[in-house]
């Protein structure tokens, strides 16, 4: 077991003792957590130790409690700074795409989304972020561009988002980050994990899927985008126009997030997402 420093090691030891866990093995470290594989009374589980004041992971726990194992890993225990999760030991869904099974992978995503969105919604749990708030960075960027006289794609993306959010359809608890690396095979079938904990129209959960996997020959292919969007729309009984519109708006949102960062490669990532938005916008004309 690699060390995460005295403070993290103390938190790990305290959590292991409190929850009667053993055999911790560091799996990975992200900006928001350190993730361990642990033994929980003879069963393999995932332990997340959260970064200080990490609200996104806490919202994710709210969503996982709501999903209650339907299309998502189970939240076994949680505290403000730790989560114990069901372990999905199988392959990531992206492996299907890598062996040429792109459309079957999209159909699996549709099945996972159907399970997530079919959980009774009334009343929705507290602590989630609405899509109106989630799109805030895009709205701010569009406002700045209008004032500067810049006819940017952010303005068009924000206009689409405003139109979609003004008349939402089938509002529910959203995963918020569905893509091919956030779904794994398990003994219970394909399960999602790492939700963002959002609240809004269920069509939104298709958008990130259509921006993934991060391979230009797939994501920057208009015919492929339209085909996959149609699969999702048909399987989930959604309007194809709204699937594509959310994809365009979401790609602009992603670009607006990255445009506020600095560092090597950020400009290329912004261009990547704006290219997705451009392709989705064109596909809207064919839908």
What b/e string do you get for 181-190 counting C-beta neighbours within 10 Å, with b at 16 or more? ebbbbeeeeb
Q: Residue 7: its pLDDT value, please? A: 54
Q: Could you give the percent of the chain with pLDDT greater than 90?
A: 87
Residue 3 above 50 pLDDT? Answer: no
CATH of the domain at 212: 3.90.1200.10
Query: Nearest to residue 208, comparing CAs of 173, 171, 248?
Result: 248
- 166 occurs within a structural domain: yes
Residues 241 and 136 in one domain: yes
Average the pLDDT over each of 71-75, 210-214, 270-274 and give the range with the smallest value.
210-214
d(CA 30, CA 19): 23
Residues 122 and 32 in one domain: no
Tell me if 50 sits within 8 A of 57, measured CB to CB: yes
Kindly report the CA angle at 221 between 220 and 227, in degrees rounded to 5?
Answer: 130
The band of 58, judged by pLDDT with boundaries at 50, 70 and 90, is: very high
Tell me if 93 sits within 8 A of 184, measured CB to CB: yes
CATH of the domain at 59: 3.30.200.20
- Element containing residue 37 per DSSP (H, E): strand 33-40
Average the pLDDT over each of 44-58, 197-211, 247-261 and give the range with the smallest value.
44-58
Residues 163 and 122 in one domain: yes
- 1 occurs within a structural domain: no
Catalytically active residues, by annotation: 177
For the beta carbon of residue 161, count every other beta carbon within 10 angstroms: 25
Residues 115 and 237 in one domain: yes
Residues 126 and 214 in one domain: yes
Residue 172 above 90 pLDDT? Answer: yes
Residues 243 and 118 in one domain: yes
Q: Residue 121: its pLDDT value, please? A: 84
Last residue of a domain, which of 59, 86, 113?
86
Number of domains composing the chain: 2
The band of 73, judged by pLDDT with boundaries at 50, 70 and 90, is: very high
Residue 45 above 80 pLDDT? Answer: yes
Q: What is the mean pLDDT of the chain?
A: 94
CB pairs under 8 A, 24+ apart, for 50-54?
50/80, 50/81, 50/82, 50/83, 52/81, 54/81
Last residue of a domain, which of 86, 107, 137?
86
Q: 201 — alpha (psi -120 to 50), left (phi > 0) or beta?
A: beta
Domain that holds residue 122: 94-284
Q: Residue 51: its pLDDT value, please? A: 84
Residues 178 and 198 in one domain: yes
* 222-236 helix and 240-259 helix, angle to the nearest 10 degrees: 120
The alpha-carbon radius of gyration of the chain (Å, integer) is: 19
- 30 occurs within a structural domain: yes
């Amino acid at each position: 077991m690699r060390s995460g420093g005295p403070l993290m090691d103390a938190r790990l030891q305290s959590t292991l003792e409190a929850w009667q866990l053993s055999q911790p093995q560091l799996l990975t470290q992200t900006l928001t957590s350190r993730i361990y594989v642990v033994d929980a009374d003879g069963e393999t589980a995932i332990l997340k130790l959260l970064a200080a004041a990490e609200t996104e992971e806490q919202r994710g726990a709210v969503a996982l409690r709501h999903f209650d194992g339907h299309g998502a890993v189970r939240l076994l225990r949680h505290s403000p700074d730790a989560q114990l999760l069901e372990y999905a030991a199988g392959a990531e869904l992206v492996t299907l795409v890598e062996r040429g099974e792109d459309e079957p992978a999209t159909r699996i995503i549709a099945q996972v989304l159907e399970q997530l969105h079919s959980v009774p919604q009334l009343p929705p749990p507290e602590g989630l972020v609405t899509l109106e708030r989630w799109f805030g960075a895009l709205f701010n960027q569009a406002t700045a561009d209008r004032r500067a006289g810049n006819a940017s794609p952010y303005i068009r993306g924000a206009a689409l988002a405003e139109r979609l959010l003004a008349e939402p359809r089938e509002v529910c608890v959203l995963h918020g980050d569905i893509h091919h690396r956030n779904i794994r095979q398990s003994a219970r079938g394909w399960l999602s994990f790492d939700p963002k904990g959002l609240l809004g129209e269920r069509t939104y959960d298709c958008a990130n899927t259509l921006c993934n996997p991060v391979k230009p020959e797939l994501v920057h292919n208009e015919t492929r985008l339209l085909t996959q969007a149609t699969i999702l729309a048909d399987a989930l009984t959604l309007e194809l126009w709204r699937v594509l519109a959310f994809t365009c708006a979401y790609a602009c949102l992603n670009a607006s997030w990255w445009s506020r960062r600095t560092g090597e490669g950020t400009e290329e990532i912004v261009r990547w997402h704006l290219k997705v938005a451009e392709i989705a916008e064109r596909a809207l004309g064919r839908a």
